[in-house]
Amino acid sequence: MKNENKVYNVALLPGDGIGPAIINATTKVIDKVSNEYGFKVISKTALIGGAAIDKVGVPLPDETVKICKASDAVLMGAVGGTKWDNLAGEMRPEKGILGIRHELGLFANLRPATVYKSLKNASPLKDYILDGGVDIMVIRELTGGIYFGKRGSQHTDGECFSAYDTEEYSVPEIERIARVAFNVARGRKKKVCSVDKANVLDSSMLWRNTVIKVSKEFQDVDLSHMYVDNAAMQLIRNPGQFDTILTNNIFGDILSDEASQITGSIGMLPSASLGSTKLGLYEPIHGSAPDIAHLKIANPIATILSAAMMLRYSLNEVEAAVKIENAVIKFLDVGYRTADIAVNNQKYLTTDETSERIIELL
Ligand code: IPM
Ligand code: MN
Domains 1-109+264-362 and 124-263 share a fold: yes
**Is 229 an active-site residue?**
yes
Cα 71 to Cα 7, 46, 75, 312, distances in angstroms: 11, 12, 10, 16
pTM, full prediction: 0.94
Query: 356 C-alpha vs ligand 1 centroid, how far in Å?
Result: 29
Query: 11 C-alpha vs ligand 1 centroid, how far in Å?
Result: 19
Mutate to test the pocket of ligand 1, among 16, 97, 140, 271 (most ligand atoms within 8 A of CB): 97
Query: 287 C-alpha vs ligand 1 centroid, how far in Å?
Result: 8
**Is 253 an active-site residue?**
yes
Residue 48 in 3-state DSSP? coil
Residues 6+ apart with CB under 8 A from 202: none
* Gap between the Cα atoms of 330 and 294, Å rounded: 28
Strands lying side by side in the sheet with 280-282:
39-45, 6-15, 73-78, 280-282, 272-274, 108-114, 135-141, 244-247, 191-196, 222-227
Given this model, what pLDDT does residue 4 score?
A: 58
Given a contact cutoff of 8 angstroms between Cβ atoms, the answer to whether 79 and 97 are in contact is yes
Among 32, 95, 197, 323, the one annotated catalytic: 197
Fold of 1-109+264-362: Isopropylmalate Dehydrogenase (3.40.718)
Given this model, what pLDDT does residue 3 score?
A: 53
Given this model, what pLDDT does residue 32 score?
A: 98
Ligand 1 lining (C-beta closer than 6 Å)? 94, 97-98, 253
151-156 and 272-274: which strand pairing?
unpaired
Among 54, 229, 291, 333, the one annotated catalytic: 229
Positive or negative: CA dihedral 185, 115, 195, 102:
negative
Given this model, what pLDDT does residue 113 score?
A: 95
Nearest CA-CA partner of 53 in 12, 104, 95, 19:
95
Q: Which DSSP symbol is given to 342? A: -
Taking CA atoms only, the protein residue closest to ligand 1 atom 10 is 253
Across the chain, which has 362 residues, the per-10-residue mean pLDDT values are 78 98 98 97 98 97 98 98 89 94 97 91 92 96 97 95 97 98 97 98 98 98 98 98 98 94 88 97 95 96 98 96 97 94 91 98 97
State in words which class domain 124-263 has. Answer: alpha beta
Taking CA atoms only, the protein residue closest to ligand 1 atom 5 is 94
* Gap between the Cα atoms of 263 and 275, Å rounded: 27
* Domain assignments of the chain as residue spans, ordered by start: 1-109+264-362, 124-263
* Gap between the Cα atoms of 24 and 289, Å rounded: 16
**Is 323 an active-site residue?**
no
What number of residues does the chain have? Answer: 362
> Mind giving me the DSSP string for 141-161?
E-SSGGGTS-EEEEEETTEEE
Q: Which ligand 1 atom sits closest to the C-alpha of 271? A: 9
Query: 253 C-alpha vs ligand 1 centroid, how far in Å?
Result: 7
Tell me the ligand closest to 282's alpha carbon: 1
Residue 123 in 3-state DSSP? coil
Given a contact cutoff of 8 angstroms between Cβ atoms, the answer to whether 202 and 231 are in contact is no
Given a contact cutoff of 8 angstroms between Cβ atoms, the answer to whether 270 and 309 are in contact is yes
